[in-house]
Structure 1
Amino acid sequence: MLSEIINMNYLVVLLMLLWIGFTYACTCAPRSEAEMFCSPYTKFGALVKTKDDGNTNTSIVRRMRRYKIRTVEMFKSGTNKVNKNVIFTNLNSAGCGVTLEAHTYYVLTGDVIDLNKGKKKPGSKAKKNRMKVSICDLVKKVNPPECPSLDDMKPSLTNYKPEP
């Protein structure tokens, strides 16, 4: 009888430890946007527009989700040999991954994954490095201002008279 109670206590403790392990799989120290952007550990900062939602069959690459992006502006870059057409993140939030919406503008900071580290062979072409973002980095959805089309501007341009 006593051994069953002890075994039950071990089971309860084990279940509690498992629950704590799953709940705190990815945690980050609280930081301001300025701290995230200006940190020496931040390797890139960019304004990007996503082209897809990262949920296609070709979007999953070695346990990472790949988003096709259009880089509008790079603010900070640890290297100029970065693939600016895609960004990577872990598959889910337990691995610190982020979810980005398609056709949306974001200001992102993150790390650069060096694909050539220790793999440089004589005569081989160097691979472009990857940008990687996580929930510990700055991931901010932004709405850039709408720019008028040239057609909308034509009436004001035709009436323009320079001052003497």
Structure 2
Amino acid sequence: MPWSPRAAPSWALLLRLLVLLWPPGLGESCSCAPAHPQQHICHSALVIRAKISSEKVVPASADPANTQKMMRYEIKQIKMFKGFEKVKDVQYIYTPFDSSLCGVKLEAGSQKQYLLTGQILGDGKVFIHLCNYIEPWEDLSLVQRESLNHHYHLNCGCQCPVPSQPQTSASGQTGCWNGSSMGTRLSIMSA
């Protein structure tokens, strides 16, 4: 891919994002703060259901001196839940090649479907990493699947507890969509 002045800001943004994602300390592994699925959906620019058609290692930059690599996954988009205003159809998603930089390993060439959340770069490329909400579609509960269409986007101002660490506000409400054995409910945090 030849270098162009228009592509420079996008690659610069991507490289800044990679630096921000680089964990402090040893820098040998990726670490992410746990988050509720609703917060992932609310804070992502793009949320799609997709199958991975193929994968290819590509340079992270047009600069030949930069040896960083990215994994480019070609996808078959099944459904877009969020991101319509920025992209119409996603053909490729990008992630760091190395897991130490929070790169994601997805199963290509199978019938496996994924829920993918990510960011859209200035040039329209979709970027994902381990700190995004990326789950095999079959592992999502019925409540989670329904919430993608009907509930998660309704209250993005809430502070959701991480499922393994339940917490509530003083009024006993979280403001997040929660499921229970008796059904589901949306509890709105009082202003």
Whether TM-score is above 0.5 comes out as: yes
Q: Quote how far apart the aligned CAs of 1:78 are.
A: 6.4
Provide the C-alpha distance between the structure 2 equivalents of 1:61 and 1:83, rounded to a whole number of angstroms: 23
Cα deviation 1:107-146 (Å, max 9, x = unaligned):
010111112xxxxxxxxxxxxx1111100001101239xx
Structure having the larger proportion of residues in helix: 1
2:86 matched to 1:80? yes
Over the aligned positions, Cα root-mean-square deviation in angstroms equals 2.0
Counterpart for residue 136 of structure 2: 141
Q: TM-score, normalised by structure 1?
A: 0.58
Task: Report the 3-state secondary structure (helix = DSSP H, G, I; strand = E; otherwise coil) of the residue aligned with 1:34.
Answer: helix
- Which residue of structure 2 aligns with residue 155 of structure 1? none
- Fraction of identical pairs, as percent: 26
What is aligned with 1:130?
125
Q: 1:1-164, aligned counterparts within 5 Å?
A: 20-23=25-28, 25-39=29-43, 42-52=44-54, 54=55, 56=56, 59-62=57-60, 63-77=69-83, 79-81=85-87, 84-102=90-108, 103=110, 104-115=112-123, 129-143=124-138
Q: For 1:83 and 1:66, locate their aligned partners in 2 and report how far apart those are by CA, in whole Å.
A: 16
Structure exhibiting the larger radius of gyration computed from Cα positions = 1
- 1:2-51 deviation line (CA, Å, top 9, x unaligned): xxxxxxxxxxxxxxxxxx5134x432111121211122xx1100000100
Distance 1:67 1:108, change over 3 A: same
Cα gap change, 1:50/1:78 in structure 2, threshold over 3 Å: closer, same or farther? same
- Aligned pairs, number: 105
The Cα shift of 1:82 comes to: 5.6
Q: Gaps (5+ residues) in structure 1?
A: 1-19, 116-128, 145-164
Runs of 4+ in 1 over 2 A off after TM superposition: 78-83
**Aligned in 2, Cα 1:82/1:92: closer, same or farther, shift over 3 Å?**
farther
- Partner Cα distance (1:140, 1:112) in 2: 19
